[in-house]
Structure 1
Amino acid sequence: MRSDTLKVPGATLYYEVRGNGPVLLLLPGSGGDAAVFDPIADTLAAHFTVVTLDPRGYSRSIIDSEEPGHRLMAAQRDNAVRFDEQVDGLIATQRHDTVRSTEPDDELITAQRDDTDRSTGRGGRLIATRRDNGFRSAEQVNLVIAPRRDDTGQSTDRPADELNVGRRDATAGSAQQDDGLIAAQREDAYRLLETLTPAGEDAYVFGGSGGAVVALDLLTYHPERLRLVVAHEPPCFAVLPDAAEQKAFIDEVYLLFRTEGIAAAGARFLQGIGGTMKPMPNPADLPPRAAEMIQRLHDNADLMMAHELRPITSYLPDEPTLATHTDRLILAAGKETRGHLPHRPAATLAEHLNLPLTEFPGGHSGFTDAPTEFATQLLNLLLATRVQ
């Protein structure tokens, strides 16, 4: 294995390369890095040039503060600041209401509603369901943003559905992306493929979780460079019939992150997706390379929760465009997540595109849950396409 870096607009990407043969790019899930694919990379490298990377801003891929790409993270921080201002208003209301918590329940609820109505001067209205113990538990918080209005009473805000990452204007075909995170990762992946794929050859891409969202976007924008894309459990909850409910769940997780920290948010997220992900191993029980990776993933968690959770889960694939490339797309999910949230977007998208859903061994992180079986099945799919 060799490692190298690639300068791209706004960042320097760290990547690793193993093996020989056609290029196979493995895209990790949100907050992951190149080493998460160690359990399957060597098996695949017997037939492919396997490329893994740290996405920009994570682990060893560094954002360049003076470059144009830095504006991406700046925009994300601005979005977080605006959300934090709304959270601050909620916390202040909670604190004030907790002082009066000895009042009867109906008076407390009325007081909360009145206090919340007065908070709209900060640009948003936060309506929270009543919690025991001063709203400090991890029950659901419903977030409703009241629109800003001009002097005529007309709303000056963009509708919420126009802000969905990856949503396309039906007439212009342009992506309406709130912060450009997915677009940046897509173009990083494309530049890496252009650098490492010999002229005239196609590349293969596997994406897991958030990496599957990036892989779908890569196929949408750069199909000419791709022989096959395998998208394993993309968490694009926006495709689901209950998308609004899932968005409320993600908003709740994000609010917990901002108010109670990464541990509370992570626990709620794992509970909400059905408890199908296995906990990370203890670094003390691992060899040095794996232990170092676990530490990096822990370090990445706050950045992922702050900037990537909402765009990735709000991504709405361009189904009309993907429908023209179904000959090079495999939608996949884990056998162990069947019936749970991580499984559903891939199944729904497969139904929309009239594609079969391919099930892999293990769960959401099948390549670490059952690496031997997972690598064998993935390799068979890739080789079958290669000989066509």
Structure 2
Amino acid sequence: MTTHVSVTTDTLDVAGARLHYEVRGAGPLIALVGAPMDAAAFAPLADLLSVDHTVLTTDPRGINRSPLDDPDQDSTPDLRAADLARLIGRLDLGPAAVLGSSGGAVTALALARTHPDRVHTVVAHEPPLVELLDDRERLHAGTDDIIATRLRGDVTGAWTKFLAQAGIVPPDGVLETMFGAERTPREEADELRWFAHELRPTTRWRPDLAALRTVGTRIVVGIGEASAGQLCDRTSRALAGALGSEPVLFPGDHTGFVDDPARFTTRLRELL
């Protein structure tokens, strides 16, 4: 039996952008953020959490329904953190818990550093903090090559290189299925923006570890139980080690909250 969940949508004008955001449920505030994943990717998880939480989801600046004044503006973790701080303030229910995944986990960590009054708990699920790794220069060079490949128009080639560097082995035929079929102009625009204006600033962001160790915000580093050996498993373990904590395992892999939102919700509730 499917329970209908009421969703309120609105927009918020921020510096250089107009943010689309969605609110579900009632109770303590939790924000679910990705980068470049938009609000739709978190909808199943948000529906489950809305039973006893107010759940905030959003399209990051420049993605889907959150247009920019300047489409050539880079999407940095600090800009996205400022946006999230404004959204939390708009709801006036904070401080919030924040689950950030991938680039959204970097956003959440930036929020804890720059606006600790807005967030009491950050669950950073697989942040790609390449700057914490000893082989970061090699990885940065690989990222530059991935971006150049996509900007030349080789979509499949760029994703093949990206997944190889990430340590993710897709099932046979997945890339051809993903990129052989016709895609919407919005899907293509969001993907191109991520490669051109978001991937590099996100993976080159270096956390202020001293500040994160002393900030009042509780920081939990999450890793997918099926992500062992992948790049974001390495970066997440490096972050947890630098903060003097143990990472927490979540169901699935890098996209566990999409693939199995029910099990992911159960694990998240245990932490909250």
TM-score, normalising length from structure 1? 0.63
Please name the residue that 1:228 is paired with. 121
Q: 1:15 aligns with which of 8, 21, 37?
A: 21
- 1:75/1:50 CA distance change after superposition, 3 Å: closer
| Distance in 2 (alpha carbons) for counterparts of 1:4 and 1:75 | 23
Please name the residue that 1:311 is paired with. 201
Secondary structure of the residue aligned to 2:47 is: helix
| Distance in 2 (alpha carbons) for counterparts of 1:195 and 1:207 | 19
Please name the residue that 1:36 is paired with. 41
Please name the residue that 2:232 is paired with. 342
1:377 aligns with 2:259: no
Question: Match of 2:218, as an amino acid?
Answer: R
| Distance in 2 (alpha carbons) for counterparts of 1:277 and 1:22 | 37
| Distance in 2 (alpha carbons) for counterparts of 1:4 and 1:277 | 36
| Distance in 2 (alpha carbons) for counterparts of 1:362 and 1:346 | 15
1:213 aligns with 2:219: no
Q: 2:32 aligns with which of 18, 21, 26?
A: 26
Q: CA deviation at 1:260?
A: 4.1
Post-superposition Cα deviations, 1:109-137, rounded to whole Å, max 9, x if no partner, equal xxxxxxxxxxxxxxxxxxxxxxxxxxxxx
- 1:335/1:326 CA distance change after superposition, 3 Å: farther
Question: Match of 1:222, as an amino acid?
Answer: H
Q: CA deviation at 1:181?
A: 2.2
Alpha carbons 1:212, 1:234 under 8 Å: kept: yes
| Distance in 2 (alpha carbons) for counterparts of 1:327 and 1:196 | 19
Alpha carbons 1:33, 1:297 under 8 Å: kept: no
Alpha carbons 1:277, 1:365 under 8 Å: kept: no
Please name the residue that 2:81 is paired with. 186
Post-superposition Cα deviations, 1:311-344, rounded to whole Å, max 9, x if no partner, equal 1111111100001137611011111111111211
Q: Which runs of 5+ in 2 are unaligned?
A: 1-6
- 1:44/1:276 CA distance change after superposition, 3 Å: farther
- 1:298/1:48 CA distance change after superposition, 3 Å: farther
CA RMSD of aligned residues (A): 2.3
Q: CA deviation at 1:296?
A: 4.5
Alpha carbons 2:31, 2:97 under 8 Å: kept: yes
Secondary structure of the residue aligned to 2:152 is: helix
Secondary structure of the residue aligned to 2:226 is: helix
Alpha carbons 1:277, 1:363 under 8 Å: kept: no
| Distance in 2 (alpha carbons) for counterparts of 1:317 and 1:22 | 27
- 1:277/1:327 CA distance change after superposition, 3 Å: farther
Q: CA deviation at 1:197?
A: 2.6
Please name the residue that 2:252 is paired with. 362
Give identity over the alignment, percent.
38
Please name the residue that 1:264 is paired with. 157
Q: CA deviation at 1:262?
A: 2.5
Question: Match of 2:91, as an amino acid?
Answer: L
Post-superposition Cα deviations, 1:143-178, rounded to whole Å, max 9, x if no partner, equal xxxxxxxxxxxxxxxxxxxxxxxxxxxxxxxxxxxx
Please name the residue that 1:54 is paired with. 59
Q: CA deviation at 1:39?
A: 2.1
User: Which protein shows a greater Rg?
Assistant: 1
Q: CA deviation at 1:258?
A: 2.3
| Distance in 2 (alpha carbons) for counterparts of 1:327 and 1:52 | 20
Q: CA deviation at 1:247?
A: 0.8
Alpha carbons 2:20, 2:66 under 8 Å: kept: yes
For 1:13-162, list aligned pairs within 5 A. Answer: 13-30=19-36, 32-64=37-69, 70=70, 73-74=71-72, 76=74
| Distance in 2 (alpha carbons) for counterparts of 1:51 and 1:34 | 9
Q: CA deviation at 1:28?
A: 1.3
Secondary structure of the residue aligned to 2:215 is: helix
Secondary structure of the residue aligned to 1:62 is: coil
| Distance in 1 (alpha carbons) for counterparts of 2:185 and 2:251 | 26
Please name the residue that 2:3 is paired with. none
Question: Match of 1:5, as an amino acid?
Answer: T
Q: CA deviation at 1:19?
A: 0.4
- 1:328/1:295 CA distance change after superposition, 3 Å: farther
| Distance in 2 (alpha carbons) for counterparts of 1:308 and 1:202 | 27
Post-superposition Cα deviations, 1:222-265, rounded to whole Å, max 9, x if no partner, equal 11221111000011111111111111211121121123433211
Secondary structure of the residue aligned to 1:363 is: coil
Greater fraction of residues in helix: 1
